[in-house]
């Protein structure tokens, strides 16, 4: 199964809209017969790729797969049916398929007399496709909010004298994270004022082949010559102020992971709605004392209602004065009973 997970994570495999899946076929003596992995939408699924490599040698094998074999016909046929036709004797998979359209493969395999086991390294498999899994289970894309800030919470100086408070190493790292998502989102005000291109670029500032969808949220009319509307990537206008409606539209387009890079107003709207699932902050060791805040009004007036975040990773980026610290965090769900408990213990 660990080899199947390695195959699923092969470099160059798109991160959406399909999950990354790996498959290894084993003979009765445990030796490897064939392996395969899914290379993106419209290409053979991992099981089909492994079966094609094995040919007649697939009969009587054990298929070890990172995700439950699908049971529906999309651009390709059902993997469960392909495994049955190939004469596979046993299937071991890590993660049940959360997609109600594709689920049911385990039942189809058992009905055909194939031994099925599930749950082996499930946690690792879910982590491999964490955004895709979240989106299918919650009916909306996973949202990562990224921002850069000074130690005193400023995203820019008052006079606008610099485009960034983050260092170049931090900005290169931002592009790496952008490339792991299938949507980059900003508000219409950010487009009007900052005119970002919102493309993924390498360390030499050259655009990469794979470009996520650019999404602009808001009702404000924008000139067609803004860089976000150029031909370097696709762009969609989400003409709403409602974060939940914006995510619903993106989900309907098959998008599973949103990289929220909008300004303080858009970020605050998503935070107030409870629609931020991960926070990535690049903190620069500097103080401004004034200037634009990193996030807008969250409607919080007392310390007891503060939004708390759990730190999952701390990574320094750069050297010397160019050093920034990347903090990766996830919001901690509010405890509705905390005020009652505080009153009891006061």
Catalytic residue ranges: 47
Is residue 23 a known part of a binding site? no
| Residue 266 marked in a binding site | yes
Flag whether 264 is marked binding: yes
CB 250 within 8 A of CB 183: yes
Task: Convert 89-117 to b/e letters by CB count within 10 Å (16 or more is b).
Answer: ebbbbbbbbbbeebbbbbebbeeeebebe
162 is in an annotated binding site: yes
Q: Is 248 annotated as a binding residue?
A: no
Instruction: Report CA torsion sign: 18, 173, 310, 263.
Output: negative
Is residue 238 a known part of a binding site?
no
Contact 141, 25 (CB under 8 A): no
Q: Is 181 annotated as a binding residue?
A: no
Q: Is 190 annotated as a binding residue?
A: yes
Length of the chain: 346
CA 143 to CA 262: how far, in whole Å?
Answer: 12
The rounded distance, in Å, linking the Cα atoms of 251 and 206 is 29
Is 198 within any annotated ligand binding site? yes
Does the annotation place 79 within a ligand binding site? yes
What is the separation of C-alpha 309 from the centre of its chain, rounded to a whole number of angstroms?
A: 19
Q: Is 328 annotated as ligand-binding?
A: no
201 is in an annotated binding site: yes
User: According to the annotation, is 164 in a ligand binding site?
Assistant: yes
Which of 324, 229, 339 has the alpha carbon at shortest distance from 283? Answer: 324
Residue 154's contacts (CB-CB under 8 Å, 6 or more residues apart) are 165, 288, 289, 290, 291, 292, 293, 294
The alpha carbon of 211 is separated from its chain's Cα centroid by a whole number of angstroms, namely 14
Q: Which residues contact 306 (CB under 8 A, 6 or more apart)?
A: 300
* Residue 148 assigned as binding residue: yes
Q: Annotation-wise, does 317 bind a ligand?
A: no
CA distances, 184 to each of 19, 245, 255, 300 (Å): 19, 16, 11, 27
What is the largest distance, in Å, between two alpha-carbon atoms of the chain? Answer: 73
First and final C-alpha spacing in the chain: 52
Return binding residues for NADP(+): 148, 164, 190, 194, 263-269
Return binding residues: 45, 70, 79, 148, 162, 164, 178, 190, 194, 198, 201, 261, 263-269
Return binding residues for Zn(2+): 45, 70, 79
Return binding residues for substrate: 162, 178, 198, 201, 261
């Amino acid at each position: 199964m660990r080899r199947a997970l390695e195959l699923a994570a092969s470099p160059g495999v798109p991160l959406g809209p399909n999950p990354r899946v790996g498959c290894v076929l084993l003979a009765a003596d445990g030796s490897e017969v064939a392996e395969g992995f899914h290379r993106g939408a419209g290409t053979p699924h991992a099981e089909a790729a492994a079966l094609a490599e094995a040919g007649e040698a697939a009969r009587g094998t054990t298929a070890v797969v990172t995700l439950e074999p699908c049971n529906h016909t999309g651009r390709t046929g059902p993997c469960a049916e392909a495994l049955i036709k190939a004469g596979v004797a046993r299937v071991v998979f890590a993660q049940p398929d959360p997609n109600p359209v594709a689920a049911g493969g385990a039942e189809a395999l058992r009905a055909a007399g194939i031994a099925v086991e599930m749950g082996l390294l499930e946690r690792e498999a879910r982590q491999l496709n964490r955004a895709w899994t979240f989106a299918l289970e919650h009916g909306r894309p996973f949202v990562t909010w990224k921002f850069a800030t000074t130690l005193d919470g400023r995203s820019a100086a008052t006079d606008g004298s610099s485009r960034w408070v983050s260092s170049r190493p931090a900005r290169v790292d931002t592009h790496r994270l952008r490339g792991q998502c299938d949507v980059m989102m900003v508000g219409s005000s950010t487009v009007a004022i900052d005119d970002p291109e919102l493309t993924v670029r390498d360390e030499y500032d050259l655009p990469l082949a794979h470009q996520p969808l650019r999404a602009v949220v808001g009702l404000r009319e924008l000139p067609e010559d803004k860089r976000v509307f150029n031909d370097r990537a696709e762009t969609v206008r989400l003409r709403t102020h409602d974060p939940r409606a914006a995510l619903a539209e993106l989900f309907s387009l098959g998008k599973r992971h949103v990289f929220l890079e909008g300004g303080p107003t858009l970020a605050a709207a998503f935070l107030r709605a409870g629609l931020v699932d991960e926070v990535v902050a690049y903190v620069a060791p500097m103080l401004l004392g004034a200037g634009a805040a990193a996030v807008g009004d969250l409607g919080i007036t007392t310390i007891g209602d503060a939004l708390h975040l759990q730190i999952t990773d701390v990574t320094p980026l750069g050297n010397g004065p160019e050093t920034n610290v990347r903090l990766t965090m996830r919001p901690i769900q509010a405890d509705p009973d905390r005020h009652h408990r505080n009153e009891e213990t006061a």
